[in-house]
Structure 1
Amino acid sequence: MGLLGLLVGLGLLVLFAFRGWSVLLLAPFAALVAALFGGEPLLANLTQVFMVNAAGFLAQFFLIFLLGAVFGKLMDDSGAVTSVAAFMAERLGERRVVLAVVLAGALVTYGGVSLFVAFFVIVPMARSLFRAAAIPRRLIPPAIVLGTSTFTMSALPGTPSIQNAIPMPFFGTTPFAAPGLGIIASLIMLGAGLWWLRRAEAAARLAGEGYGDDVEDMTERAAADELVRERATTAREFDPAEMKHGQRSSAPAPVVTAILPLAVVVAVNLMMSLLVLPRLDVSYLAEQRFGSTSLAAVAGVWSVAVALAAAIATTIALNWTRLPALRQTMDAGANASVLPAFSVASLVGFGAVVASLPGFIVVRDWVLAIEGGPLVSLAVSTNILAALTGSASGGLTIALDALGQTYVELAERAGIDLALMHRVAVIGSGTLDILPHNGAVVSLLAICGLTHRDSYFDIAMVGIVTSLLALVAVIALGSAFGSF
C-alpha cells in the first residue's frame, strides 16, 4: 500500500498540475494522499515533514530567486535585454538569423536574466528577424529554447541558474563544478542544436515554406493567462504576471551599458568562488546560531547571491536615468520571485513526504541498483523526477533531498569527484523536464502564438535530444578521466 500511495500521490500531482491547478495546493494534498495510503500520520507528515523541508528549501535558495528576479526585471525595464538582443541581430545579420536568436538568449540567461524576461523580449525580436528572412515562424520556439534552456541553464561553468545552485549544498561544490566537462557538454548542446535548426530551415526552404501567417502580439495576453502563469512559475524562477508592472525605458540602453552587468555576474561569481571565499576564516559557521554548518555547504549560494547583488547595483548605477519607476520595477521583480520559489518549495515538501514513507525504500533500491554506477543512477533519477514534475529545479531538489547523502557516500566509495556528480545532476535535470507539460514550453508557445503541433518536435530535438547526448558524453568522459 505504501508504494501504491506514492504512485497515486505523484499521479494526482502530475495530472492536476498539467490541468493548471496551483502546485501550492496540489503538493500538500498529494503528500497527504501518499501518507494516507501508507498508513502514516497525516498531520505529522504535513507539519513536521512537508513544511519543514519546504521551509528548508526556501531558507537555502530564496535569496537567489529574489535577486535573480529583481536583476531580470531591472535589465528588462532599463532596455538592456532589448539592446543585447538587437546587438546580436545587427552583428550576425539576416543570413544568420537563427544563430542571432540563439546567442541572444544564451548571452542574457548566462548573465543572470530570468528566463521569462528573456522570452518576453526576444520573441518580438525573433518574429521580426524570421519574417524578414522568410524562415518559418514555427522555428522561433526551438531557437529560443536552445539559447535559453539548455547549456546556459545546466552546463556552462558558473551559470547563475537556480538549477546549478541546487546541488551545491548537497555536494559542497561551487557554480564552476567540472568546468571542462561543462564546456564540452555546452558545445555538444549548441552544436547539435544549431545543426538541427539549420537542417529544419533548409528543409523548409526546399519545400517552399516561408514565414507563414503572422499573428497578433501575444506577449501581454500570455503574461495575463492564469494557466500559463501556474505552469510557468513551477518551471522557472519568474512570475510572468509581474512583467506588466514597473515601467520600461522608452529607449534601449547603450550596448556596453547593457552587457556590463551580465559580465559582472560571471566575473564576481568566479572571483567569489575561487579567490575570496576560500581565503576567508569562517570557523564561526560551526556555531549553533549559524546552523552548525561549513563553508562548503554555503559557499556556492553565497557566490551566486553576491554576484547577482553586484549586478543589480551595476545595472542601477549605469541606467539610473532609464529607470523612471525604480521602486516599482524592483517591487515587481521581488514579487515575481515569490510564487516560483514557493511552488518549487512545495514540490520539495511533497518529495520529502514521499521519501519518508516505507514504500519509498522500493524506489530507492531500484534507482541505486541501476547498472552503470552512481553517475548513471543519479542521471536517471533526476531525469525521471524532472520529467514527472515538469520542473528541472523541482525534480533535482526532490532527488537530492531523498538520495543526496546516499550519492555522496557512493561517490566517495567509488572515488568519484563530487564536482562531477554536481554536473551530471544538473544536466540530468535539464533533459526530460522539457516535456509537453513543462511550464516554460507552454509559456513560450503561448507568447509565440503557436501550438505544440507547430513546434514541439523541434523543441524536443534541440532541448531533450541534445541534452541527452551531452549527458552521455559527460558520464562517459567523467568515468574515463574523472572530473576536469
Structure 2
Amino acid sequence: MSSILGIVLALVLLMALAYRGVSVLILAPLMALLAALFTPGAPLLASYTQVFMPALGSFVIAFFPLFLLGAVFGKLMEASGAARIIAQGIVTGLGEQRAVLAIVLACAVLTYGGVSLFVVAFAVYPIAAALFRHADVPKRLIPGTIALGAFTFTMTALPGTPAIQNAIPMPYFGTTPFAAPGLGLIGGVVMLVLGTLWLTRRAARARDQGEGYGDDADAPALDDPANASKASATGRPANVPSAPPLAFSGHAFALAMAPVVLVIALNYALATWVFPSLNTAYLAEARFGATHINNLRGIWAVIGALSAAIVLLLVLQRRHLTTLVPTLEAGATSSVLPLLNTASQVGFGAVIASLAGFTLIRDAVLGIAPGNPLVSMSIAVNILAGITGSASGGMSIALQTLGDTWLAMGQAAGIAPDLLHRVTAIATGGLDALPHNGAVITLLGICGLSHRKSYFDIFMVAVAFPLLALVAVVTLGTVFGSF
C-alpha cells in the first residue's frame, strides 16, 4: 500500500510542479526517487543509475534523429519565410469570411508537413491576428483556432504525419506512420469538423452579440515581415497597426509547399515500398540489434523524408536563408530540451514500473476490459498524458511499462498492431492539453491571452473533441478491425 501511495504522490507532485514551471529534467528523477522511497526494499541509487538512466538513454537512441531533423526543418521553414507564405496563401485563398477555417487549415498543412507546432504558432499568429481583426472575429478565439489546426488531428490521427506522437509507437508495434489509415482519417475528420463547427459558431454568436475583435494594440501588420520575425524572437507580437491579408505569389507558394509535400510523399514511399524491398537480413546480426526491418522502417522513413525535405528546402530557399549556419544551430539546439524532457519522463515511467505497487495498478488498468486492450490502452495513455502534461511523455511512459503487454493482448484478441498504434497515438491527444500543458501555456503567451479568456475553447477543440474521436475510433476498430 505504501508503494501505491508513493506512486500517486509522485504523479500528483509531477503534475503540480510542472504546472508551476519547474523543469521536467529536475522533476522526473526526483519524483521517481520519491516513489521508490515509499517502496520497501527499493534501492534509490540503483533505481536511478540502473533503471532511470538506461530507459532515458534508450529513448534518446531511438528518437534523437526525429527530434533533431524535425526541429531543424521547422526552423528553416520559419527562417526562410516558407511557413508564413503557406499560411498567407491558404488565408488569401479562403478569404476573411472563412477566417477560422483558413487559420485551422494553415496550421494543419504546416504541422502535417513536419513543422513543429511551436514554430507554427509563432508563424501563424501574426496572420491570424490581422485576419481576425479585419473580419472582426474575437481575438480570444485565436488560441483555440491555432490549437485545433496544430495540436489535434495532424498530431495524432492523420496517417503519415511525421509528428513524434505518431512515431513513438512504431518500434513497439512494428508499424509505420501510415498505420490504420482509414481509422486515422475518420478520427481526424471528427476532430476537424467538430472543432471547426464549434469555433465558427462561437464566432457567429459573438458577432450576433456585437462583440468584435476586442481592444488590442498588439495586432501585427501582415505587410511588415519584420513583425513576424520579431514575434518569433520574443514570443510576443510587435505593437503595430493591423492590415488585411496580402495577396501572395503562386510561384512562392509552390516553392514553400514543395518540401512539405515531399515529406508526406517520401515518407509513404520509403515505409511502404522502398525499405521493405531491400535486403536487410543483416539486421538479424547482434551488432545491429538482432531486429527486423518491420521494427525500423517507420523510423527510417521519417528520417529519410525529413532529411530529403531539408535538402530541398535549402536548395529552393537558399537566397532567403541569409544566416544559414546560425539557423541550423538554432534548430539543432532547440531539439535537445524537448528530447530530454520526454526521455526523462520515460525514465520516470521505468522506475515506476519497477516498483511493487505498480503491479497492482497495472492489473487494475488491464482489468478494465480484459478482452479488449484498446480500452485499457486509451484510458492509461490519456491519464498519463494528462498527468505529465505531455502527449509524447504520457505515451512513452505507457508504452515503456505496458507496450509489450498490450501487444500480446492484442495478438491474443486478434487485434492488428496497426490498430494498437493508431489508438495509442490518438489517445495521447486528449487530456494532454489540460491547463498545465507546455504547448497550451506557450500558445496563450504568444497570443497575449489568459487561460480565463481562451482556455475553454482550447479545451473543447483539443480535449473534448479528440476524446470523442478516440471513442469513435475504438468503437469502429473493435467492430471492424484495422483499416
- For the aligned pair, the TM-score class normalised by the smaller chain equals over 0.9
Matches of 1:21 and 1:436, distance apart in 2: 15
Residue 430 (structure 2) aligns with: 431
Instruction: Indicate the residue corresponding to 2:239 in structure 1.
Output: none
Matches within 5 A, 1:132-171: 132-171=134-173
The counterpart of 1:351, out of the listed 349, 373, 381, is: 349
Equivalent residue runs for 1:465-480 within 5 Å: 465-480=464-479
Cα offsets for 1:97-118 (capped at 9, x unmatched)? 1111000000000000011110
Measured in 2, the distance between the counterparts of 1:193 and 1:42 equals 46
Whether 1:37 and 2:35 are equivalent positions in the alignment is no
What is the rounded CA distance, in whole Å, between the counterparts of 1:48 and 1:190 in structure 2? 44
In 2, Cα distance between equivalents of 1:401 and 1:224: 37
Report the Cα offset of residue 298 of structure 1.
1.4
Query: Which residue does 1:26 correspond to in 2?
Result: 27
Correspondence 1:380 to 2:379: yes
How far apart in 1 are the matches of 2:183 and 2:15? 33
> 1:186, 1:18 → 2: CA distance?
28
Post-superposition Cα deviations, 1:459-482, rounded to whole Å, max 9, x if no partner, equal 111111111111111111111111
Q: Distance in 2 between matches of 1:443 and 1:155?
A: 23
CA distance in 1: counterparts of 2:73 and 2:117, whole angstroms = 12
Question: Partner residue of 1:104?
Answer: 106
Q: Which amino acid aligns with 2:292?
A: S
Q: Is the 8 A contact 1:215 1:449 kept in 2?
A: no
Task: Report which stretch shifted further, 440-449 or 279-288.
Answer: 279-288
Q: Deviations over 1:235-256 (max 9, x none)?
A: xxxxxxxxxxxxxxxx998111
Where does residue 186 of structure 1 map in the other structure? 188
Residue of structure 2 equivalent to 1:126: 128
CA distance in 1, matches of 2:196, 2:105: 11
Q: Is the 8 A contact 2:276 2:294 kept in 1?
A: no
**Structure 2 match to 1:394:** 393
What's 2:328 paired with?
330
Cα distance, 1:18 vs. partner?
A: 1.0
> Which amino acid is the alignment partner of residue 467 of structure 1?
P
Counterpart contact for 2:183–2:473, Cα < 8 Å: yes
Q: Is the 8 A contact 1:105 1:144 kept in 2?
A: yes
| Stretches of 4+ aligned residues off by more than 6 angstroms | none
Q: Within 1, Cα distance between the matches of 2:425 and 2:50?
A: 28
Alignment match, 1:312: 310
In structure 1, the residue matched to 2:452 is: 453
Alpha-carbon distance between aligned partners in 1 of 2:172 and 2:233, rounded to the nearest angstrom = 35
Question: Aligned partners of 2:195, 2:265: CA distance in 1, in Å?
Answer: 27
Tell me by how many angstroms 1:53 deviates. Answer: 0.2
Aligned 1:295-306 pairs, distance under 5 A: 295-306=293-304
Give 1:202 shift: 1.1
Greater Cα offset, 300-309 or 251-260? 251-260
CA distance in 2, matches of 1:429, 1:56: 21
Distance 2:233 2:20 in 1: 18
User: Matched residues in 1 for 2:344 and 2:109: separation?
Assistant: 31
1:213 matches 2:215: yes
Alignment of 1:248-287 (within 5 A): 254-287=252-285
CA distance, structure 2, for counterparts of residue 283 and residue 116 of structure 1: 40
Cα distance, 1:8 vs. partner?
Answer: 1.6
The aligned counterpart of 2:244 is: none
Amino acid at match of 1:104: A
Return the offset for 1:16.
1.2
Supply the distance in 2 between the matched residues of 1:400 and 1:437 (Cα, whole angstroms).
Answer: 22
Deviates more, 1:214-223 or 1:325-334: 214-223
TM-score computed with the length of structure 2 as normaliser: 0.93
Q: Hey, what's the Cα distance between the residues in 2 that align with 1:11 and 1:185?
A: 30
Residues 368 and 374 of structure 1 are in contact (CA less than 8 Å); yes or no, is this contact kept in structure 2?
yes
Contact 1:35/1:357 (8 A) holds in 2: yes
The residue aligned with 1:241 is: none
Is the Cα–Cα contact under 8 Å of residues 122 and 232 in structure 2 kept in the other structure?
Answer: no
Residue 221 of structure 1, CA deviation: 7.8
**Cα displacement (A) at 1:267:** 0.6
Is the contact between residue 222 and residue 443 of structure 1 (CA under 8 Å) also seen in structure 2? no
How far is 1:283 from its partner? 1.2
SS at match of 2:296: helix
Q: Matched residue of 1:339: which SS?
A: helix
Distance in 2, Cα, partners of 1:93 & 1:460: 27
Number of aligned pairs? 460
Superposition TM-score, scaled by structure 1 size: 0.93
The CA deviation string for residues 360-416 of structure 1, in whole angstroms up to 9 with x for no partner, is 011101110113721111000000000000000000000000000000100000000
Q: Distance in 2 between matches of 1:105 and 1:310?
A: 22
Q: CA RMSD in A?
A: 1.6
Shift of 1:222: 8.6
The alpha-carbon deviation at position 193 of structure 1 amounts to 0.6
Give, as a single letter, the amino acid of the residue that structure 1 aligns with 2:388: T
Higher mean C-alpha displacement, 365-374 vs 385-394:
365-374
Q: 1:340 aligns with which of 325, 338, 341?
A: 338
Kindly provide the amino acid, as one letter, of the partner of residue 329 in structure 1: T
Residues 1:5 and 2:3 aligned together: no
Contact 1:222 1:446 (8 Å CA) reproduced:
no
Q: How does 1:225-264 map to 2 (within 5 A)?
A: 254-264=252-262
| 1:223 to partner: Cα distance | 6.0
Aligned residues with identical type, % of pairs: 55
Cα distance, 1:296 vs structure 2: 1.9
What amino acid sits opposite 1:334 in the alignment?
A
Match of 2:224 in 1: none
The CA deviation at 1:215 is 3.8
The answer to which of 211-220 and 89-98 deviates more is 211-220
Q: Which whole-Å CA distance do the structure 1 matches of 2:218 and 2:474 have between them?
A: 45
Query: Does the Cα contact within 8 Å between 1:424 and 1:475 map onto a contact in 2?
Result: yes
Matched, 1:294 2:292: yes
Residue of structure 1 equivalent to 2:241: none
What 5-or-longer segments of structure 2 have no aligned partner?
Answer: 221-227, 237-247
Once the two structures are superposed, residues 93-141 of structure 1 have per-residue CA deviations (whole angstroms, 9 ceiling, x without a partner) of 1111111100000000000001111010100100000000000000001
Moved more, 65-74 or 293-302: 293-302
Aligned residue identity for 1:426: A
Counterpart code for 2:310: I
